[in-house]
Amino acid sequence: MSNQLEKLKNSIKKEYVESFEQDLMKSSGFVPVDKRQNNFYVIISKSNLKNKENIAAIIKEKYSGLTAQFIPLEQNEFDEIFENVNSKNNSEERKVDVQQKETASGASQQGELSAEDMLVGIGWITKEQLQECNQQAVKRDVPLDAILFEKELLSSDKIASYLQKKYGLKPISKQDIKVDKSILKLLPDDFIEKKKLIILSIETGNKLGVAMINPKDQYTIREISLSTGRSPNVYALPYHVYEAYLKEYLIQKRIDQSAKETERIIASIEEETAQYVDEDNLWAQVEKELQDASGNVARFVHKIITDSIDAKASDIHIEPRLGYYVVRIRQDGILKKILDIPGTIEQAVITRFKVLAKMNIAEHRRPQDGTFSIRYNDRMYDFRINTLPVSGKEKVVIRILAPAVSLKAAGEKMIIAGAADDDIQKIHDMVQSPNGIILTSGPTGSGKTTTLYTILKALNKEDVNITTIEDPVEIKLEGINQSQVNAKADITFASCMRAILRQDPDIILVGEIRDFETLETAISAALTGHLVLSTVHTNSAAATITRLIEMGAKDYLVSSTLTGVIAQRLVRRLCDSCKESYYPSEEEVKHISNNPKVQEELLKTKMYKKKGCKECGFLGYTGRLGIYEVMPITREIKKLIAQGAHDIEIEEVAVAAGMKTLKSACLNHIIEGRTTTDEFIRVLGYANE
């Protein structure tokens, strides 16, 4: 310590230091020194000078008539003095007063365990864990409970007991928070965010319920009281609760801002385009847009795309209406309108999309397609876009392709959402065979490709060579050779596969088998020791087999190469926060089963229907759920195929061997409360059909 600093330290009067609460000095960042005449001297760090007025007010409150004078120090000098003064302060106080209250840093009272020691004492965590978590907490500047929760060392209940012990205040839980805009307005947003607190509610006696990450921060408590005119009733705030709140609160704020931003951009584009009324000028503007990626139209288009990514949409539809366009996005398989594009700017917006995808902007009468990529949130997103002339305008559909997926990180365990454990086991057994053909079947958008990718994930190891042929490449996979079909260049599934077979792959994924040529190549690949995965457009597992034979494959070749078929569909998953239970009517039960015994059971089964709440955007559903019909090709089924059996016969044998049909898999989801009878009928039709 320098001489100067030493002098300063020695002139600090203990009585003044003790006259302030240590928490208050710490949170406000000052150390009182001495009083001379009408001045009260305090030490402050240079970085804290903006807080001068607050500190002056605190001094004035305690010593009216004195004016605060500041001695600014470098941060490290200030810290040194602060530590020095307060540790001395503590140890001396302890000698005289055993009842000294717990300090902000969590130092223990004599004879009683600190909250942290309690954690170790009752065996919730080890001493080493506590030490490690403490270090991380300091490093990341978060409270200890944030790390304990994140590492899953303590449950939320245990976190609550810890905070109760630490602060002697009741901790709040997620359920205690209700975001009420009128209450939020009591304090400015930046104050709430900076001080890490949540305003809970107005309580009786002009009190204000406030939960705080640092509930001992007297300075902030005082400030709340001054600016709201209510006296704060303080609760401890677990960090994970605060984070969850912040997420929801910030999301709501961002949605509000986003809507305003859209309005603003549309207004400014309208203003700009108002000058270009005739066709010639319009093209001049288009030229300008081509050059200008930072213009309003470009920003508007970018925003449509990024909002859709945020909403986890799979497609964006920009469709002409009379005099304007609408933008709809497909979320969980359902189209949802997000905004209107006024007629005055539609041309500029459509053109911008075409510019992005390097399409011919002068061509309006022919369909076009193209691709483009955008970096967003540190990830590259790829898009396929196509235009279609409809009633003199152009309809644009943009498919959002998922960003590259790392297959290396995945373990061997397959995770297939909605599949029962025994189904996953069956699929697992199927793919153990080093050669053969495994097919997934279902209509477009039934999740066939996702299932194949999941299987690939489980098979992706250093020592296997996986190659895919897709149309188009929908998900980029790390560590896998992906090629794309290109009909214009005469690169078809079949020709591509023949080229690939010369490169000795172990596993080949073919996007789709839709003609005999591809099927024939797949069969010969399977016969020469390769595992082939592909998809077929059929309605059931059994129908897939007969479809292959209809395509022209010899039945004995199908029977000897086919390893298994997985038929699948996607149904919407009920929102757990709002679904409502009920008992079904007789008629409803008949819609989902044609077995009288099952019907009777179902009448007594509690089912759920959709309602809608904030969690699910008032849709009643969140996300989707697969239903699967997994058919391993057993010896018996092979025999049936070779005999040219009908698919009904094949299905009966498979069911007898334990296969669940799509309908029974969906019925299971209904009974378990995961989806509705409406979804059953929408996706699978009536049971008796």
Min dist CB 578 to Zn ion, Å, is: 3
CB atoms within 10 A of CB 354: 22
Whole-number Å distance between alpha carbons of 484 and 468? 8
Residue 521 backbone phi and psi in degrees, to 5: -65, -40
- By CB under 5 A, residue 615 contacts Zn ion: yes
- Rounded (10°) CA dihedral 295, 298, 299, 300: 120
618, 575 Cβ separation under 8 angstroms? no
Whole-number Å distance between alpha carbons of 443 and 645? 24
Site string for Zn ion, 576-605 (x = CB under 5 A): -xx---------------------------
Q: Return the range that interacts with Zn ion (CB under 5 A); candidates 35-43, 407-415, 480-488, 615-623.
A: 615-623
Is the Cβ of residue 403 or residue 617 nearer to Zn ion in the bound state?
A: 617
Q: Return the range that interacts with Zn ion (CB under 5 A); candidates 443-451, 459-467, 568-576, 665-673.
A: 568-576
Q: Which residue is nearest to Zn ion (CB)?
A: 575
Is the Cβ of residue 346 or residue 679 nearer to Zn ion in the bound state?
A: 679
- By CB under 5 A, residue 574 contacts Zn ion: no
Is the Cβ of residue 431 or residue 616 nearer to Zn ion in the bound state?
A: 616
Site string for Zn ion, 528-567 (x = CB under 5 A): ----------------------------------------
142, 213 Cβ separation under 8 angstroms? no
Is the Cβ of residue 148 or residue 575 nearer to Zn ion in the bound state?
A: 575
Min dist CB 617 to Zn ion, Å, is: 8
Min dist CB 252 to Zn ion, Å, is: 16
Is the Cβ of residue 455 or residue 619 nearer to Zn ion in the bound state?
A: 619
650, 547 Cβ separation under 8 angstroms? no
Single out the residue of 133, 575, 662, 670 in contact with Zn ion (rule: CB under 5 A): 575
Amino acid in the structure at residue 376: Y
Single out the residue of 613, 636, 639, 648 in contact with Zn ion (rule: CB under 5 A): 613
Is the Cβ of residue 353 or residue 621 nearer to Zn ion in the bound state?
A: 621
Single out the residue of 616, 633, 640, 687 in contact with Zn ion (rule: CB under 5 A): 616
Size of residue set near Zn ion by CB under 5 A: 6
Amino acid in the structure at residue 282: L
CB atoms within 10 A of CB 370: 16
The encoded tokens of residue 73 equal 């120090």
Is the Cβ of residue 79 or residue 580 nearer to Zn ion in the bound state?
A: 580
Pairing mode of beta strands 324-331, 334-342? antiparallel
Prior bond of 143 cis (ω within 30°): no
Is the Cβ of residue 251 or residue 290 nearer to Zn ion in the bound state?
A: 251
Is the Cβ of residue 109 or residue 252 nearer to Zn ion in the bound state?
A: 252
DSSP bridge partners of 330: 315, 335
Min dist CB 614 to Zn ion, Å, is: 7
Q: Return the range that interacts with Zn ion (CB under 5 A); candidates 242-250, 558-566, 616-624, 659-667.
A: 616-624
Q: What are the DSSP E strand ranges found in 543-589? A: 562-574, 580-582
- By CB under 5 A, residue 255 contacts Zn ion: no
Using CB atoms within 10 Å of the CB of residue 483, give its burial: 0 to 12 exposed, 13 to 18 middle, 19+ buried: middle
Is the Cβ of residue 582 or residue 686 nearer to Zn ion in the bound state?
A: 582
Query: End-to-end CA distance of the chain, in Å?
Result: 89
Alpha helices in 229-320, H assignment, sequence order: 239-273, 279-291, 296-310
Residue 563: which of 602, 620, 523 has the closest Cα? 523
Output Rg (C-alpha) for the chain, integer angstroms.
34
Site string for Zn ion, 295-334 (x = CB under 5 A): ----------------------------------------
Residues in region 105-134 near Zn ion by CB under 5 A: none
Min dist CB 111 to Zn ion, Å, is: 52
Whole-number Å distance between alpha carbons of 147 and 144? 6
568, 447 Cβ separation under 8 angstroms? yes
The residues of the shown chain that bind Zn ion, judged by CB under 5 A, are: 575, 577-578, 613, 615-616
